[in-house]
A and B are shown apart, each in its own frame.
Chain A
Amino acid sequence: AQSVAQPEDQVNVAEGNPLTVKCTYSVSGNPYLFWYVQYPNRGLQFLLKYITGDNLVKGSYGFEAEFNKSQTSFHLKKPSALVSDSALYFCAVRDNRYQLIWGAGTKLIIKP
């Protein structure tokens, strides 16, 4: 069965430090992977996606994600966290019906 796992409910990072939000997946065939962010009282916003090509994908707001096929991971990263990055982050993978399967979400808290 296809699935997405975000093993951390919450990640705490000091402002200015690098951040990583973890995501692992299980799919048959080639994975198509996405990261979305949800700010309080706002809709989900697309950050980045991996379809094919370079394993390091760059997205919005300075975020990037590294696709690792051997580890079936697609961790979200940012070199220097901002307080405004505090939000709920969702990893998703496209299933064979062309719909997204969502991870449970990770709450990212950036402390000043």
Chain B
Amino acid sequence: GAVVSQHPSRVICKSGTSVKIECRSLDFQATTMFWYRQFPKQSLMLMATSNEGSKATYEQGVEKDKFLINHASLTLSTLTVTSAHPEDSSFYICSARTGTGGYNEQFFGPGTRLTVL
């Protein structure tokens, strides 16, 4: 099956620093990538959707200047949490989908646990 990797799996940083999370589709080309945030014992919250070569579309309430998303190629998307604060601590999950129309399932990365001290 299709594999999506995320790196790093865990990161601890100091408040005010920036953190970059990479999401790669290893054996397929992802026309669309999604970034989610998951709080403990809660469902996934979609942060943004990105299509290769285009600007990301952010969900309402998500600060685009704080969560920078780049989808530079069909196999790589990055999420940069800028000037991180403790409230940004969370589990960040990316997913990738081939094709359009939403009929295809999304493949998920293993997630990145971000802890901001």
Q: What are 23 sample pairs from A and B whose C-beta atoms fall under 8 A apart?
A: A32-B102, A42-B110, A43-B4, A43-B6, A43-B109, A44-B44, A44-B93, A44-B95, A45-B108, A49-B105, A90-B43, A94-B103, A98-B101, A99-B34, A99-B49, A99-B102, A100-B46, A100-B102, A100-B106, A102-B43, A103-B43, A104-B43, A105-B43
Q: Name the residue of chain B whose CB is nearest to the CB of A49.
A: B105
Q: By the criterion CB–CB under 8 Å, are A43 and B101 in contact?
A: no
Report, as a range, how many residues of chain A touch the other chain: 20 to 34
Q: From residue A28, how far is it (CB to closest CB) to chain B in Å?
A: 15
By DSSP majority rule, is chain B's interface helix, strand, loop, or mixed?
loop
Q: By the criterion CB–CB under 8 Å, are A43 and B108 in contact?
A: yes
List, in ascending order, chain A residues with CB within 8 A of B6's CB.
43
Q: By the criterion CB–CB under 8 Å, are A41 and B110 in contact?
A: yes
In chain A between 28 and 47, which residues have their CB closer than 8 angstroms to a CB of chain B? Answer: 32, 34, 36, 41-46
Q: From residue B9, how far is it (CB to closest CB) to chain A in Å?
A: 8
Q: By the criterion CB–CB under 8 Å, are B102 and A98 in contact?
A: yes
Please judge, given known A-B contacts A90-B44, A102-B43, A104-B43, whether A46 and B106 are in contact too, CB under 8 Å.
yes
Q: Name the residue of chain A whose CB is nearest to the CB of B110.
A: A43
Q: With the chains together, A7 CA to B2 CA distance in Å?
A: 31
In chain B between 63 and 117, which residues have their CB closer than 8 angstroms to a CB of chain A? Answer: 93, 95, 100-103, 105-111
